[in-house]
Structure 1
Amino acid sequence: MTRSDRVPDVPVVALFDPAVRRRIRDRAAEEFLGDTRSLLTTLGICAIGVLVGGRYYVATMPDVPTLLWPLYADSPMAIALAVLALVALLPTVGSGRSARETPTNRPLAYLQTLAFVWLVKYGLWPLVALNVHPERYLGTPDALVSYWGILITHLLFVALALLLPAVGRTTRGALGLALGLSLLGDVVDYGFGYHPPVQYDPGVVVPVASVVIGVAAVVLASRSFRRLEG
């Protein structure tokens, strides 16, 4: 595949054109999800992310009730949802067809919407959480991992999320469920104290930012996904 077959060169101004952004997104989706090898590679990387993130949360987990683990382990859950959404593409891609030709249905639309919202929300959350008190992370011996590593890997969540609208759908019900679960997660995190581990009291800024990011993620999902017909 030549460079011109991958992502076309476009002026920066053209990126404000929704049609141009969709073409770039669709081309990127074909690159990372468009054949069995690339899709399995993406799934493998995501599976490693689930294991690494899950291990981190288990090691730092307070006495969280079992039923609340999915809401407590935010980042691993986001990647796990993405894995489930991507696994649904395997039969289509394995048959030689485009991932965008994957048959869709209401349960799959719900899954794709939840994966998108969780990836965006918890991909952006560290930008706030780690920068309210950056001195707690920067300048420490493990800053490369505990600050830069977390920021970079979580921003990749957002990059993965932006591929999903190229192959998925959403519904009004899926958007409503995503919003409700996002707000419920914030209540569990900051109302009951089961928030992701940070090296300071989250106070008011982090909870408010989490709610705002979650709402913004749902709005972005509504604008990015095509609606399921029927």
Structure 2
Amino acid sequence: MQAIQAQLQQQAPDNEPPSTEINVQNLCYHPAGTEAPLLSDVTLRVPPKQMGLVYGRSGAGKTTLLQLIAGLTQPTSGSITLVGAPGGNGAAPSAVMTSSERLARTGLVFQFPERHFLAATLQQELAFAWPQDMLSLQQLSCRAGVVLPALGLDHIPLDTPLRQLSDGYKRRCALAVALVRRPSVLLLDEPLAGLDWQSRADIASVLGKLKQECTVLVVSHDLRELEPLIDVAWEMEPGGRLKPVQWPPTKE
């Protein structure tokens, strides 16, 4: 797989995605109507073009953390910044980023992407919410021409109904939808869950290439395939507290 973002940058050098780090400081999330906060004083930093891992028991708050970083909801307190500037000069933003600003910079792939597809076919899903003027559609076509072969999707007709694809290919399609928008941060919720061994190996290989091009944060229980790719890691403990862990883990 060739460098996806590098080829996309050649197509649009005036809009080069930044080299970005994820910086979360003292994050708390206590939605109305809940007795206890879902996240408590969470702090993490994933350096540019590295892969971070958050693992822990189900229900501890891992997916909620990804949704907050992606800008799908607003934290109760604390800050989330995606530190970087166009051109990759590493300059920090002057203020805490809003949810809409983070949403524009991130790509989030859910654990079960088929539940979040908004269209019937791959072509429709790629174009969903994309500007429909001729110039924008040509840009989408160029980007898809880079992303789809890199993810092993170029042999699938664009009018194929998404429901007919295997779970592994649905994950690839969800990645493609995120990548054509050229995010500087990629957030993945259980990217290997429920896949057969070959699909797990294929997706892990794709992620190994992607971490060379954008900053990645993964929530996962599947550590065996991902362990060689991880640079920094945390365990989400009950009560929504995040604990840094040594990585790679000590072998006993």
TM-score by length of 1: 0.27
Q: Report which structure shows greater RCO (CA 8 Å, sep ≥6).
A: 2
Between Structure 1 and Structure 2, which shows a larger proportion of strand residues? 2
Between Structure 1 and Structure 2, which shows a larger proportion of helix residues? 1
TM-score by length of 2: 0.25
